[in-house]
Chains A and B, each alone.
Chain A
Amino acid sequence: MHRVKARVESNAKVVHGVHRLRLSSSEIALEAEPGQFVHVLCGENRDYILRRPFSVHRVQNGSFDLLIQVVGKGTTYLSQLESGDALDIMGPIGRGFEFTGNFEKSLLVAGGIGVAPLVFLAERLREDGKETHFLYGAATREGLVCLEDLSTVVQKVFSVTEDGSFGYEGLLTEFFGEAFQEYNPDRIFACGPEEMLRKVAESTAGTVPCQVSLERKMACGIGACLSCVCRTREGYRRVCVDGPVFDASEIIW
């Protein structure tokens, strides 16, 4: 893990309320693995003081991307950055997805902004020559921000929107069974709202291995303060460094 002053190379508005920040840091770009995150100081302010965690979304040569949904003060600050600005970042942090194991075909399940780390994972899986399918849900067509990027990386995307403006209409979890039957995967990787993760975990329990990326509010982000714990079969574990990716069978929901 490093602490760096990363330069903003670009800040692109993907759709209303979602930004893609490209940050220069060869250390982080080189070391980051899919599912790991960076802990970002959102301005030198005194009113709100904690860093904010964001998944590494993609890496390039010497830089990496964050995909940021604007929900509050910190993300608003990040959405207003301009190229050349500097950001205080710690990372890469945490245990990412374990994707080197012995499997052929995976299904990646993304709810909303939970797509961020899964694009990185999909790219790595393609490099490894694995067959990868994607179940992707959001509120509206606009919310499926990575649809175009994914089309070149995975075999097939199964899209679901709550308002039916694209793909199937409803909640992603209502279509999980259908997608599972269609692709018949032997690995599941999921990231999104906790309720979605819980349902995915329950539907796969005892069938194929499933890994989920959890979210918690974080203070230190490096394993020291014990504020980010989740309940697991081995007791409380820290989402920041024991996760954020856990084997779904470990989690007590």
Chain B
Amino acid sequence: MIDLSVDLAGIRMKNPVMVASGTFACGREYSEITDLSKLGAVVTKAVTLKRREGNSPPRICETPSGILNSIGLQNKGVDCFLREDLPFLRGFDIPVIVNVAGDDIEEYVAVSRRLSEAKVDGVELNVSCPNVKRGGMIFGTDAVAVAEVVSAVKKAIGVPLIVKLSPNVTDITEMARSAVDAGADVLSLINTVVGMTIDTDGFKPGLATVTGGLSGPAIRPIAVRMVWQVAQAVEVPIIGMGGIVEARDAVEFLLAGATAIAVGTANFMNPSAALEIIEGLEGFLRGKGYRSIGEIVGRVQA
């Protein structure tokens, strides 16, 4: 038996593979064609205090080996999430991690507190969304602002706190240290990379918001590099993501120092991508003669 289980600051997962925020909604749609109960954990789409409309369309463009999106924070608000989506997700007996966004510290705190009271398994602070004007990435690209929002939320909740970092910074380790010093139990990285495309016939940007967030295999080397740098800078566990499509991609992140990984854009091509990666990881470990996933974490010979 290969032991795939991991413990992320108290979030116990039977394997290290989760689905990334915003690519899986709250699982309902995917549950028709894939078995959610086999996942390590589900991370939901960002939840805010009140219902949000999100950005104007077009919201998506395909780019070389990736996609550029500007969904914004369209969601029904935390009350509706607690009433309709959480009970559904609880039915699969896997940890439910809720991605939280806000315009200001008060909103992050209010939403996180509600979720903590409802005993979700973890709160993931999205201080890195490139697709909102206020809040979002503003918090994630300023080390002082990161510390403020993280420590305010940490005081308000009783469940593990994950902070999701933006790659759109000069020094990711500075943000990572700041978040950990302020109380982050786990770091997740990376969120999308700010990008832009232009339609050369119409001379218009591909997205209504002009710029958007790049995801998919195109960003994987950036993500692996950042996970590796952060793993050396801090002690807390890391959830690695960015362009993971198959098991070998996940192994790269584990070798760079991630304890767990998340699959995002790949779900769109292959709704069973996460499940295939779980099987693939087991096969990889067996093939190399390892007995547990922890044995390869951070083992890159750099």
In chain A between 207 and 240, which residues have their CB closer than 8 angstroms to a CB of chain B?
Answer: 216-231, 235-236
Q: Which of B23, B57, B62 contacts A49 (CB 8 A)?
A: B62
Chain A residues with Cβ below 8 Å from B56 are: 231
Q: Is A125 an interface residue (CB 8 A)?
A: no
Q: Is A46 an interface residue (CB 8 A)?
A: yes
Q: Is B191 an interface residue (CB 8 A)?
A: no
Q: Give the distance in Å from the alpha carbon of A223 to the alpha carbon of B28 in the complex.
A: 9
Which of A50, A88, A223, A241 has the most chain B CB atoms inside 10 A of its CB?
A50
Residue of B nearest to A72 (CB): B62
Q: How far is the CB of A41 from chain B (nearest CB, A)?
A: 6
Q: Give the distance in Å from the alpha carbon of A125 to the alpha carbon of B229 in the complex.
A: 63
- Report the count of interface residues on A (CB-CB < 8 A): 31
Q: Is A3 an interface residue (CB 8 A)?
A: yes
In chain A between 121 and 166, which residues have their CB closer than 8 angstroms to a CB of chain B?
Answer: none
Q: Is A90 an interface residue (CB 8 A)?
A: yes
Q: Is B271 an interface residue (CB 8 A)?
A: yes
Q: How far is the CB of A204 from chain B (nearest CB, A)?
A: 24
Q: Is B22 an interface residue (CB 8 A)?
A: yes
Q: Give the distance in Å from the alpha carbon of A223 to the alpha carbon of B33 in the complex.
A: 13
Q: Is A1 an interface residue (CB 8 A)?
A: yes
Q: Which of B23, B61, B65 contacts A224 (CB 8 A)?
A: B23
Q: Give the distance in Å from the alpha carbon of A3 to the alpha carbon of B276 in the complex.
A: 15
Chain A residues with Cβ below 8 Å from B33 are: 1-3, 90, 222
A104-133 to B contact mask, C-beta < 8 Å, 1/0: 000000000000000000000000000000
Q: How far is the CB of A226 from chain B (nearest CB, A)?
A: 5
A227 touches B69 (CB 8 A): yes
Q: How far is the CB of B75 from chain A (nearest CB, A)?
A: 9
B65 touches A46 (CB 8 A): yes
Chain A residues with Cβ below 8 Å from B270 are: 41, 88
In chain B between 1 and 27, which residues have their CB closer than 8 angstroms to a CB of chain A?
Answer: 22-25
In chain A between 142 and 198, which residues have their CB closer than 8 angstroms to a CB of chain B?
Answer: none
Q: Is A51 an interface residue (CB 8 A)?
A: yes
Q: Give the distance in Å from the alpha carbon of A1 to the alpha carbon of B33 in the complex.
A: 8
Q: Is B71 an interface residue (CB 8 A)?
A: yes
A46 touches B60 (CB 8 A): no
Chain B residues with Cβ below 8 Å from A218 are: 60
Chain A residues with Cβ below 8 Å from B61 are: 217
Residue of A nearest to B69 (CB): A227
B60 touches A217 (CB 8 A): yes
Residue of A nearest to B217 (CB): A46
In chain A between 86 and 103, which residues have their CB closer than 8 angstroms to a CB of chain B?
Answer: 88, 90
Secondary structure type dominating chain A contacts: loop
Residue of B nearest to A44 (CB): B269
Q: How far is the CB of B263 from chain A (nearest CB, A)?
A: 13
Q: How far is the CB of B118 from chain A (nearest CB, A)?
A: 22
A50 touches B62 (CB 8 A): yes
Q: Give the distance in Å from the alpha carbon of A217 to the alpha carbon of B271 in the complex.
A: 18
Chain B residues with Cβ below 8 Å from A216 are: 57-58
Q: Is B178 an interface residue (CB 8 A)?
A: no
- Knowing A51-B269, A229-B54 are in contact, say whether A222-B29 is a contact too (CB < 8 A): yes
- Knowing A3-B33, A227-B60, A229-B59 are in contact, say whether A49-B74 is a contact too (CB < 8 A): no
Q: Give the distance in Å from the alpha carbon of A7 to the alpha carbon of B57 in the complex.
A: 35
B29 touches A49 (CB 8 A): no
Chain A residues with Cβ below 8 Å from B45 are: 226
Q: Is B265 an interface residue (CB 8 A)?
A: yes
B88-131 to A contact mask, C-beta < 8 Å, 1/0: 00000000000000000000000000000000000000000000
Q: Give the distance in Å from the alpha carbon of A49 to the alpha carbon of B68 in the complex.
A: 12
Q: How far is the CB of B269 from chain A (nearest CB, A)?
A: 5
Q: Give the distance in Å from the alpha carbon of A41 to the alpha carbon of B12 in the complex.
A: 34
Chain B residues with Cβ below 8 Å from A48 are: 62, 64-65
Which of A2, A49, A222, A224 has the most chain B CB atoms inside 10 A of its CB?
A49
Q: Give the distance in Å from the alpha carbon of A31 to the alpha carbon of B57 in the complex.
A: 31
Q: How far is the CB of A215 from chain B (nearest CB, A)?
A: 11
Chain A residues with Cβ below 8 Å from B22 are: 225
A224 touches B216 (CB 8 A): no
A31-72 to B contact mask, C-beta < 8 Å, 1/0: 000000000010000111111000000000000000000000
Q: Give the distance in Å from the alpha carbon of A2 to the alpha carbon of B32 in the complex.
A: 8
A49 touches B65 (CB 8 A): yes
Q: Is B67 an interface residue (CB 8 A)?
A: yes
Which of B45, B53, B60, B217 has the most chain A CB atoms inside 10 A of its CB?
B60
Q: Give the distance in Å from the alpha carbon of A216 to the alpha carbon of B62 in the complex.
A: 13
- Knowing A2-B33, A219-B60, A226-B74 are in contact, say whether A50-B54 is a contact too (CB < 8 A): no
Known: A49-B67, A50-B62. 11 other contacts (CB 8 A): A47-B64, A51-B269, A217-B60, A217-B61, A219-B265, A223-B25, A224-B24, A224-B25, A224-B29, A236-B54, A241-B29
The residues of B with any CB-CB pair to A shorter than 8 Å are 22-25, 29-30, 32-33, 45, 53-54, 56-62, 64-67, 69, 71, 74, 216-217, 245, 265, 267-272
